[in-house]
Each structure stands twice: as structure tokens, then as C-alpha cells.
């Protein structure tokens, strides 16, 4: 089984665990994250509602949420240079210089 297939099998239970609004119930453990987090959200994401990103941002201490215009669920593929720039700009230390 390929790495991609394994990751998809592992994601199946996570993706099936949604609330009545279709929002993933993943925020419960997000508070355990102890590193800088930038949630990049595609403005036209039709797979997950923006409130999902807001929940992740709110659940992780110090996390930021940035919305990227004219892109969908995969902003890293739609606008790779912009996403890379956003990551570098928000990264602490040497990466941001």
C-alpha cells in the first residue's frame, strides 16, 4: 500500500467525525499543540466551512488564521508562492528573515 493510500485510510475516521454542521470534531486535541501555527484557509473552500479554521485557530494558543482569496481547499497547490510567502512571513527566527 502506498504512503498516500495509508494516509487516506488513516484520515477516514477523522473525516467521518463531523458535527451537525459538517465541521470536523478535531479541535478537542488542538490545545495540545505547542508550536507556532498558521492556518491558511482558501476563501472558496467548498469541502470544509471557514468555521473549521476558526475553531482550529481558537483552540491553539497563539495560532493565526489567514484567508487566501480566489482559492479553494488546496491553497498550497492553487497559489504555492503566496502560501510559501505567508509561511515564511509568519515563521519565527531565521526563516522569517
Domain region containing 34? 3-96
Nearest to 22 by CA among 57, 1, 50: 50
Q: How many domains does the chain have?
A: 1
Question: What's the whole-model pTM score?
Answer: 0.69
Cβ burial of 39 (10 Å; 0-12, 13-18, 19+) is middle
Poorest-confidence range of 52-56, 69-73, 78-82? 52-56
pLDDT digit string, tens, across residues 76-91: 999 999 999 999 999 8
pLDDT digit string, tens, across residues 17-29: 777 776 677 767 7
Name which residue leads in pLDDT, 72 or 1.
72
Q: How is residue 18 annotated by DSSP?
A: B
Residue 6 predicted with pLDDT over 60: no
Residues whose CB falls within 8 Å of the CB of residue 10, separated by 6 or more in sequence, listed in order: none
Q: 60 near 87, Cβ under 8 Å?
A: no
Mean pLDDT of 45-55: 90
Q: What is the CATH number of the domain that holds 83?
A: 3.40.50.1820
Amino acid at each position: 500500500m502506498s504512503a498516500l493510500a495509508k494516509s487516506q485510510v488513516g484520515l477516514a475516521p477523522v473525516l467521518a467525525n463531523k458535527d451537525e454542521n459538517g465541521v470536523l470534531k478535531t479541535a478537542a486535541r488542538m490545545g495540545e499543540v505547542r508550536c507556532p501555527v498558521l492556518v491558511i484557509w482558501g476563501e472558496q473552500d467548498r469541502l470544509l466551512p471557514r468555521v473549521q479554521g476558526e475553531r482550529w485557530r481558537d483552540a491553539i494558543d497563539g495560532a493565526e488564521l489567514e484567508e487566501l482569496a480566489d482559492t479553494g481547499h488546496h491553497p498550497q497547490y492553487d497559489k504555492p508562492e503566496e502560501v510559501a510567502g505567508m509561511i515564511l512571513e509568519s515563521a519565527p527566527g531565521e526563516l522569517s528573515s
